[in-house]
Structure 1
Amino acid sequence: MVDTPFQQPQSLNVRQNRALALAGVFQATQLTHMTAMTGQQSIGETGNFYFEQLIKASLNIRPALNTSTQTLDFFNQLGDIALGLKTLESSINQPFSTTPKSKIPKLPSAKLPMSYAMALLQLEKKVYSNPEYVAVIEKSQQKILKQLSFFDNNYMHPSIIANLAQAYVDTAGQINPRILVRGNAESFKDPNHTNRIRASLFTGLQLAHLWRQLGGSSWNMIFSKRKLLQDIQTLARLQYQMV
C-alpha cells in the first residue's frame, strides 16, 4: 500500500469530486478512442501526459473504500484531467444509456468515448462485486508498484502498460458484454497497440470505481445532467484559477 501521492489545498464539494472522477472515466475512454483510431504515436506528448496521470491514479485507487473523499488527492492538479472534463462536457447533451449493448451501435466516432464510458460504469459494478476480480486488481497494483522502482518510476514503460492491460483482461475482459473498441484493424495486430487500449480501459475502470465510491450512480447522472454540467463548468474555471 502507498499513500495517496498528492494533497491539494483546494477542497471540492461532494458533487464536484464526483464529477471530476467521472471526467477521469471519460478521459480514459477518449484516450482509448484516440489510440484505437490513430495509433499510439498519434496521440502525442499531450495524450501521453493525460494517460500517465490516469495510470498514477489507477494504481492508488483501492478496491476497498478509499480514505480520501477528494478526487484531486489522486492527481497533481485539475489540469491533469482537462481532457476528461472537455470530453464529458461535449458528451453531456448526448443520451446516456444505462444498458450498453454487447455490440457498439453505429454511432458517429465522436460518440464512441461516451459509449465506452457508459459500458465501463456498468462493468465496474460487476467487477467489484466479484471477490476474485478484486483480488486480481489488488495483486496487480502491488506488482506494478514494485516494478516501478526497476523502471525509474517510468509509468509509461511497456512492461507497466502490459501489466495494466493484463489486469483489464483478467477482470472486465472476462465479463459479457465486452467493450468492442472500434479502430484501425491493422494497428490491432500490434500487441503494444492493444496493450495501450486495454490499459486505458483499466484506468477508466478504476476511476469508475472511485466515482461509485463517491456516490455516483447511472440513474442520478441521467436525471441530474444540468447539475453535472454546472459542476464541470465550475471545475473548468477553477482549473485556470489554480494555475
Structure 2
Amino acid sequence: MLRTTRNQAIALAGLAQAVHLVQQIAKRGQTDREAMEISIASTLKIDADTVEDVYGGITGLRDGLLKLKQQMGGREHIDPEHARYSALLVFLENKLEKRPDVQKQLRAGLEKAAVQAETAPSITDESVLEILADTYHQNISPLGPRIIISGERMFLTDPDNAHKIRALLLAGIRSAVLWRQCGGARWKFLLNRRRLQQETQALIDQID
C-alpha cells in the first residue's frame, strides 16, 4: 500500500466508521445497513491492490469520513468513547502484528467467512457475521485488553447484535492494519493532524 496521507485518511475513516456502527448497535439496536455492508465486506478483502479497493471506493465511507472529521475537530467535538474504542483497536492490531501464529488463524477464519459469503443472501447474513464474530472472539480478544462496549443491556445481550458488534470490531482491526501498512503511527497522527484533516475534507468534498 502506498504510504500517503490520503491513504492514511481513508484507512482511519474505515476505522471510524466501524466504531461508529458498533456504538449505534450498542445504543440503538440498529445501524445503517449500507455502511455496515461496506465495513463487513472490508474484512474479506485481504489482498486488495489499493486502500480504496478494500472499501469498494470511498463513497461507502461517508459516515466514517464525517466521524473522522469530527474527531479531529478539537476537544469540544471529540467523542471520548469513540476515541477509546479506536485507540484500543489500534493497540490490539499492534499486538496482532507481532503474532504470526494468530495472524494465520485469523486469516483462516476470514477465508471461511468469505466462502460462506459466496452463498449467503448478503454479506451481512447472520451466517457470515457469526463466523466473523467467532474469528474475532477466538483470535483478537485473547490478545487483551478486551474492549468493553457500553450501551443498552437489551441490545448488548441480543445474540445477533453481539455477532454484529464483534464482526464490526474485526472490521476496525482490518482498517487498523491498513493504517499501519500506509505508514500510520500514533506520533505521525499527532504531527500530521492538519494534513489528515485536509485530506479528510478533500475526500468528503469528492463524495459530495
Q: What is the aligned counterpart of 1:212 among 156, 180, 185?
A: 180
Q: Which has the larger radius of gyration?
A: 1
**Displacement after TM superposition at 1:150 (Å):** 2.4
Structure 1 runs of 4+ aligned residues shifted over 2 Å read 108-111
Per-residue CA shift, 1:168-189, capped at 9, x if unaligned? 1112211222111101112222
> Which residue in the other structure is 1:6 paired with?
none
Change (3 A) 1:135 1:13: closer
* TM-score, normalisation: structure 2: 0.92
Aligned residue for 2:152, secondary structure, equals coil
Per-residue CA shift, 1:122-161, capped at 9, x if unaligned? 1101012112210121101211111123214x10110101
Counterpart residue type for residue 23 of structure 1: A
Per-residue CA shift, 1:97-126, capped at 9, x if unaligned? xxxxxxxxxxx9933122111111111010
Contact 1:124-1:208 at 8 Å conserved across structures = yes
Structure 1 residue runs of 5 or longer lacking an equivalent are 1-11, 96-107
> Which residue in the other structure is 1:133 paired with?
102
Partners in 1 of 2:78 and 2:125 — Cα distance? 29
> Which residue in the other structure is 1:177 paired with?
145
* TM-score, normalisation: structure 1: 0.79
Q: How does 1:196-207 map to 2 (within 5 A)?
A: 196-207=164-175
Structure 2 residue runs of 5 or longer lacking an equivalent are none
> Which residue in the other structure is 1:33 paired with?
23
Counterpart residue type for residue 45 of structure 2: N
Aligned residue for 2:79, secondary structure, equals helix
> Which residue in the other structure is 1:123 paired with?
92
Aligned residue for 2:183, secondary structure, equals coil
Counterpart residue type for residue 107 of structure 2: E
> Which residue in the other structure is 2:67 paired with?
87
Contact 2:41-2:123 at 8 Å conserved across structures = yes
> Which residue in the other structure is 1:237 paired with?
205
Change (3 A) 1:29 1:227: same
Aligned residue pair count: 206
Does 2:125 correspond to 1:157?
yes
Partners in 2 of 1:87 and 1:136 — Cα distance? 32
For the aligned residue pairs, the C-alpha RMSD in angstroms reads 1.9
Share of identical aligned residues, percent? 28
Aligned residue for 1:186, secondary structure, equals helix
> Which residue in the other structure is 1:16 paired with?
6
Change (3 A) 1:109 1:197: farther
> Which residue in the other structure is 1:7 paired with?
none
Indicate the structure with greater helix content.
2
